[in-house]
Amino acid sequence: MGRINSKQKGKNGELEFAHECEKYGFTDVHRTAQTNGKLEQSLADCEGLPGIHIEVKRVEQLNIDKAMEQSIRDLKTKKEKRIPVVFHRKNRKPWKATMLFEDWIELYKCWLEYHKDK
The answer to whether residue 103 is domain-embedded is: yes
The answer to whether residue 33 is domain-embedded is: yes
The answer to whether residue 62 is domain-embedded is: yes
Compute the half-sphere exposure of residue 29: CA atoms within 13 Å on the CB side of its CA: 25
The answer to whether residue 1 is domain-embedded is: no
Q: Which residues pair with 72 in a beta bridge?
A: none
SS3 1: coil
The answer to whether residue 109 is domain-embedded is: yes
pLDDT of residue 4: 66
The answer to whether residue 93 is domain-embedded is: yes
Domain that holds residue 24: 6-115
104: amino acid identity, one letter: W
Q: Confirm if 26 and 49 have CB atoms less than 8 A apart.
A: yes
Question: What's the 3-state SS for 50-76?
Answer: CCEEEEEECCCCCCHHHHHHHHHHHHH
The tens digit of pLDDT for each residue in 100-113 reads 999 999 999 999 99
The answer to whether residue 95 is domain-embedded is: yes
Task: Count how many domains the chain has.
Answer: 1
Using alpha carbons, select from 8, 14, 102 the residue that is nearest to residue 58. 14
The helix (run of H) or strand (run of E) holding residue 78 is helix 64-78
The tens digit of pLDDT for each residue in 26-73 reads 999 999 975 544 444 568 899 999 999 999 999 999 999 999 999 999
pTM for this predicted structure: 0.85
Q: How far apart are CA 25 and CA 11, in angstroms?
A: 21
The answer to whether residue 78 is domain-embedded is: yes
Looking up residue 79, the CATH number of its domain turns out to be: 3.40.1350
